[in-house]
Amino acid sequence: MLVPLDYAFFTRALLAGVLVGAMSGALSTFVVLRRMSYIGHGLAHSVLGGVAVGMALGLDLYVGAMVATVLSALLIDAVARQRGLHADAAIGIVTTTIFAIGVAVIAIVPTRLNVEAVLFGNLLGVDRTDLAVAAGVGVTFLLVLVLLYKPLVFTTFDQEVARVHGVRTRAMELVFSLVTAAVVVASVRVLGVLLIAAAVVIPGATARLVTRSVGTMLALSTLLGVGAAVAGLYLSFHLDVPSGPSIVLTGALVFAVVVLVTAVTTRLGLSAVRRHEAQDPATEGPTPSSGGVQAADRPGARDPVAGEPAATDPLARDEGAHRSGSVPPRR
Amino acid sequence: MSSTSAPAPAAPVLDLSVLGPRHEAPPASPAVELTEVAAGYGRTRVLSGLSLTVERGELVGIVGPSGSGKSTLLRLLTAGADLHHGRVAVLGAPVRRRPPARVGYVPQLDNVERNFPLRVLEVVLLGDTASSRRLPWFTRAERDRARDLLDRLGLDGLHHRRLAELSGGQQQRAFVARALFRRSELLLLDEPTSGVDPTTRADVLAVLAGLHRAGLTVLLTTHDLNAVAAHLPRVVGLHGRITADGPPGEVLTPEVLASTYGGRMRVLHDRGRIVVVDAAPTGLGPHALDAAPVGSHQRVRSGDGIAS
């Protein structure tokens, strides 16, 4: 288990993997809730175009990638604002165009670009620059989450009402696009452009199945992203497969298990309700619309589906303390 | 359209002191003032020649067919539509690029992602995001205020439910609470009675009537003419322009409805209630009621009342 840590390259890859896993995991919460899974796919394709053009011009990999993804994000935002066009069309047009430019440049201009490493990630290729980029993007993303969590959630939930209620929703959309672009770029070395899309969807989709609040979903998807990255990197080392596929396959496996478990749990719960009804048809439990206080309403009560505490969301952070009076007021 | 309106339940006066300081007396400026407005989206014009004044403390319903500009009117008041001509002022301030402060908005239930992982208390708290502190969690004072508001709107005990676990009426109350949470003085509601059962509809309208009695200005759009007739003191007919403006008895007439909706409708009166039915066969056959024309209206002689 600890043998790979004897290698400096693996330690660097592991650090980068933890950062990339945490970022892509956290981002996936918003990607899933916004139903914008396609954005990661599209922006990742833009990276290849940017990297190819950048290297043809003698620039660093990250310079080309960042310019291409930020340009893509801005163009997607601009095209999507055209009346009658939706974001999926904008993403499809903009990112595939930039991807096509990259493919054409690779065919025409000879470069040192290792296409396979860019496409699938390269454990051996993680250097100090990659670590610095991942750390920089991670800190920026964390700041965005801390300072803009509430407007981001409001905009994600109900953009029109958020706008009327004074939230700068266009700015939030732009911030989200730029953060997504930055996370995608920072993830290129570890995940590869073809597999980034999965990394910014799978953790959030998995967490969505077992959580009932945005805050918990965010925390869980971040942990899942980190877990998949660490496990995937070890698998990559031991099985000698590219790091991107091993990380994505680990996440996909967890997703499949959670889908299975939740399906079985739901079925068992349904059977229990039917048995209860059959035994005592006169007994009618409280319904959601009955207005009564149910177990789930009590602070600290556990979610019957997810088994999570009812008040773990940052938005609900003071709840239990308030009711019990066990924690002094937050100032 | 052909269903009858439920009797208006007595609307309690809601204590809105939890919202913080409000105007003691109605200020001189109206809540909404549109002067010779033409508006739409880009070059597409939806509204034209529109002049409308809603005084503070009024409860007004905007009625009109689909595409008549009801939602555009609400967007115009919140800087969400393009003003081509004229002047729009809300709560005394001209509306330009930013939505006016102290305006709460309640969307159509159909447009809300009800499975979104948020609890009712969180939904309400988000309503004042713009003036809340930057950190990801809310203060105890904000939570207390949101809880009080939910309790006053009859949602006590439901603070920690997910939105999807509430009935339609409870969801509407939660969204009204969110709209009020930013200390709104004007409440805009986009078809609050759309897609809800008659009991919920009466419940929602009773809440709005309570808010109105508490001094709030409420402007709503609806297709539900019978609910308008039963609950709202003022109705504005809209079809790209204003076709009528006044109490339900003056606006809900066959002539006005024909000019607003472009089709014939029957207006029946039963013991002071107004009932609008389609002119097309309604199922209310000659045995169900006996209508005789009284002026432009018809008076119902059925001893059993209408469609109870």
**Least CA distance to A167: which residue of chain B?**
B130
Tell me whether residues B134 and A292 touch, CB distance under 8 A. no
Helix (H) or strand (E) holding B275: strand B273-278
Interior angle at CA A81, CA B221 and CA B101, nearest 5:
45
Reply yes or no on whether the pLDDT at B253 is more than 90. Answer: no
Query: Do the domain assignments include residue A311?
Result: no
- pLDDT averaged over chain B? 82
Residue A207 included in any domain? no
Q: Whole domain around residue A117: which residue ranges?
A: 3-197
How far apart are alpha carbons B10 and B16 in whole angstroms? 18
Complex ipTM, two decimals? 0.82
Hey, are the CB atoms on B104 and A33 less than 8 Å from each other? no
Nearest-CA distance from A328 to chain B in Å? 10
pLDDT tens digits for B148-178? 999 988 898 899 999 889 988 889 899 999 9
From A146-150, A315-319, B221-225, the region with the lowest mean pLDDT: A315-319
Is A289 close to B105, i.e. CB distance below 8 A?
Answer: no
Specify if A214 maps to a domain.
Answer: no
* Chain B residues with CB-CB distance to A298 below 8 A: 160
Of A229, A216, A157, A225, nearest to A190 by C-alpha is A229
pLDDT tens string A225-279: 999 999 998 998 889 888 888 999 999 999 999 999 999 988 888 888 888 878 7
User: Shortest CA distance to B2 belongs to which of B278, B291, B288?
Assistant: B278
pLDDT at A110: 79
User: Is pLDDT at A54 greater than 50 in this prediction?
Assistant: yes
Residue at A71 is within a domain: yes
With a cut of 80, say whether residue B7 has pLDDT above it. Answer: no
The count of domains in chain A is 1
Mean local confidence (pLDDT), A68-82: 83
Q: Residue A22 falls within a domain, yes or no?
A: yes
CA B226 centroid distance within chain: 13
Give the closest residue to B117 by CA, choosing from A151, A270, A210, A286: A210
The CATH number given to whatever domain includes residue A120 is: 1.10.3470.10
Give the pLDDT confidence score for residue B3 in this predicted structure.
41
Q: Starting at the edge strand that comes first in sequence, how are the strands of the sheet with B82-90 ordered?
A: B44-54, B32-41, B82-90, B93-94
User: If you measure CA to CA, which chain A residue comes closest to B98?
Assistant: A166
Q: Give the DSSP letter string of A198-224.
A: HHTTHHHHHHHHH-SSHHHHHHHHHHH
Choose from B95, B109, B118 for mutation: most chain A CBs within 10 A: B118
Q: Is B161 close to A149, i.e. CB distance below 8 A?
A: no
- Test mutation, B91, B161, B181, B219, chain A, max A CBs within 10 A: B161
A185 belongs to a structural domain: yes
pLDDT digits (tens, 9 = 90+) for A13-47: 899 999 999 999 999 999 999 988 888 888 888 88
Are B117 and A208 within 8 A, CB to CB? yes
pLDDT, tens digit, for every residue of A88-126? 888 888 989 998 998 898 888 877 777 778 887 777 778
Asked if residue A158 is part of any domain, the answer here is yes
B271 vs B106, more confident: B106
- Give pLDDT, residue A159: 93
Does residue A261 sit within a domain?
no
CB contact under 8 A, B159 and A297: yes
What value does the mean pLDDT of chain A take?
81
